[in-house]
Amino acid sequence: MIKIYHNPRCRKSREGLAILEKSGKDFEVVKYLDDVPSKKEIKTLVKFLGIAPIDLVRKTEAIWKEKFKGRTLSDDEVITALSENPKLIERPVVVNGEKAVVGRPPENIMGLL
């Protein structure tokens, strides 16, 4: 089952959702600001994305700049920051099986379908 970690207020996330809707495939929408992913889920996302946890962080968010910018954080500390501040999670993230992409640009999603 395809899953999209979605923020309805984000234009890129809405564009990613539209791509999935047009694909005709079944998918699940996770509004991750309401249904916050656990640390275990974030670790799995990072694994499926094939990136370091820090690469899933939206470093332009005020929360990041105020609390974390300039600090050296371990992978576990970054994952904790993401789980405690889901607004920091790059969006949208689309998962298909054991592979995932960040939908920035939204066309990245096409390669996953």
For residue 53, the domain's CATH number is 3.40.30.10
Mean pLDDT for 11-17 is 96
Residue 3's pLDDT band (boundaries 50, 70, 90)? very high
Q: Supply the pLDDT for residue 24.
A: 95
SS (H, E, C) the chain: CEEEEECCCCHHHHHHHHHHHHHCCCEEEEECCCCCCCHHHHHHHHHHHCCCHHHHECCCCHHHHHHCCCCCCCHHHHHHHHHHCHHHECCCEEEECCEEEECCCCCHHHHHC
Q: Residue 94: which pLDDT band, with cuts at 50, 70 and 90?
A: very high
Q: Which domain holds residue 9?
A: 2-112
Backbone phi and psi for residue 102, each to the nearest 5 degrees, phi listed first:
-90, 130
Q: Give residue-wise pLDDT tens across range 29-79.
A: 999 999 999 999 999 999 999 999 999 999 999 999 999 999 999 999 999
Q: What residue has token string 């249904």?
A: 35
| 8 classed as catalytic | no
Instruction: Give the model's pLDDT for residue 111.
Output: 92
Residue 41 confidence (pLDDT): 97
User: Out of 10, 30, 33, 73, which one is annotated catalytic?
Assistant: 10
Q: What is the pLDDT of residue 49?
A: 98
- Give residue 45's pLDDT: 98
Domains in the chain, number: 1
